[in-house]
Structure 1
Amino acid sequence: MVPEEEAQDRGEHSSSQLSKLREYQQYHPSLTCVMEGKDIEDWSCCPSPWTSFQSSCYFISTGIQENCSVMGADLVVINTREEQDFIIQNLKRNSSYFLGLSDPGGRRHWQWVDQTPYNENVTFWHSGEPNNLDERCAIINFRSSEEWGWNDIHCHVPQKSICKMKKIYI
């Protein structure tokens, strides 16, 4: 490309970035963006005050029963030990938080909200959990004897939430 074409291409890219940014700001008025990689075009953003980890953004609710879908997100799906460790750094020990994991039929067929396959090798249940077929939702909570872990619970019991969404790339 000749220099004029490169400058024009950068201008068009900047214009599309700005357009994309305005679209997201309809739902999230404030975004925090960081440059990833060496290229000026590689920006990843999370809504403020969400927290960034790997390719996702996380929101830890401070109130009861925050609705993740209203914010363009789902209840959290935890896929790795590293993700679990990251999340628990931001939680309050005296609170419990809904996960995006449920057992709708009460038959111990756990399902993630985003249809990620449930992998029994990547679960963090407290010992003895899940323990009640009538408890069809899952939370993460702190137990002094075991630290942080998952517990099955009745879905109607009010809890805080952890929301997760993909990072916004502009």
Structure 2
Amino acid sequence: MPIWSTADKVTSEKVLALDAYWRARLGNGPIPCRKLFDPSDLRDLLPNILIVEFADDPWKIRYRLIGTKVVEMSRLDFTGRRLDECAFQTTDEDIWYQAYKMVGERSAPVYGRATIPIEGADNQHVTEEFGIFPLTHDGTAIHQCIAIEDYTPIDRLIPPDRIRPMRMR
């Protein structure tokens, strides 16, 4: 599965930029506090950002904010939905569950790549590189994550509406 515990394999400038921002807010603790994140600092990244919260336990993930680029690429605004309600159209649908589980178990960021098929085009796909970074309210427990998704440049002949749409279960 294409999930990593370090940023060594990350090629996305956007993922690396959020990684640097997250690390700059660590202070003395293992997880930065959510209140240290200012959206105006992340203006260029906001279309690609997701804010998720852990509800009930670390395996119940609820999407609180979905950036406009993520909505465009998913072809669905899943703000307010739980991870288990979403049927993501990647070639490895379980990647999101595994990535968030890894964040919860390690209390540390995870990185990875997902492949999204193009509708009606055999062997054509968009590669999505992502980073998921834990956040806390109390200094210890993970309450939220800030995540970012960056997509390979899409050929102008393949508009986002040709990407296989996400659907709800």
Quickly name the TM-score band, shorter chain normalised: under 0.3
Which is richer in helix?
2
- Structure with higher Rg: it is 1
Superposition TM-score, scaled by structure 1 size: 0.27
Superposition TM-score, scaled by structure 2 size: 0.27
